Amino acid sequence: MRKPTEDALLALLQEERAALRTGDLTALPTFAAQKLVLVEDIRVHPRNPQLIDRITRDLNRNAGLLAAAMDGITAAQQRLGALRAVRNGLSVYTAGGDRQTVAQRPDTLERKA
C-alpha cells in the first residue's frame, strides 16, 4: 500500500527530471531540500520494497541527468575560458619549441582597395 510520502517523492522526482531535461537548474535546490525530508521519512518508516526499488531507480536516473548537466556546465566553462584566452592573445610554439604569445590587434576597421 502506498503512503502519501512515497507518492510525494515519486511526483517530486518526476518534477526534478523535467527540470533537468529543460535546463531549469534554479529549481534544483528546492528539490534537494524536499527530497531530504521525504527520504528521511521513508528511511524511518520502511515501506513496500518494490516501491523502494522504483524510488531508487528514479533517484539514480535523476543523478545521471544531474551529472550530465554538471558535465555540460564544466565543458561550457572550459570553452569560455579558451575563448577568453584567445581574446587576450594566442599562444603558439616556435620551431624551437618555445612558447610565444601573439598579441591580438585592437579592433580596427581595415579598408581594402
**pLDDT, block means (10 residues), the chain with 113 residues:** 82 96 93 93 84 93 96 95 79 88 70 72
Q: What is the pTM of this model?
A: 0.70
Cell numbers at residue 76, please?
561550457
Helix (H, G, I), strand (E, B) or coil at 39: helix
Number of Cβ atoms within 10 Å of the Cβ of 19: 19
Cell numbers at residue 21, please?
531535461
pLDDT for the residue 79: 95
What is the rounded distance in angstroms from the CA atom of residue 58 to the CA atom of residue 10? 8
| In the chain, domain spans | 4-80
The conformation of residue 45, written as its DSSP 8-state character, comes to S
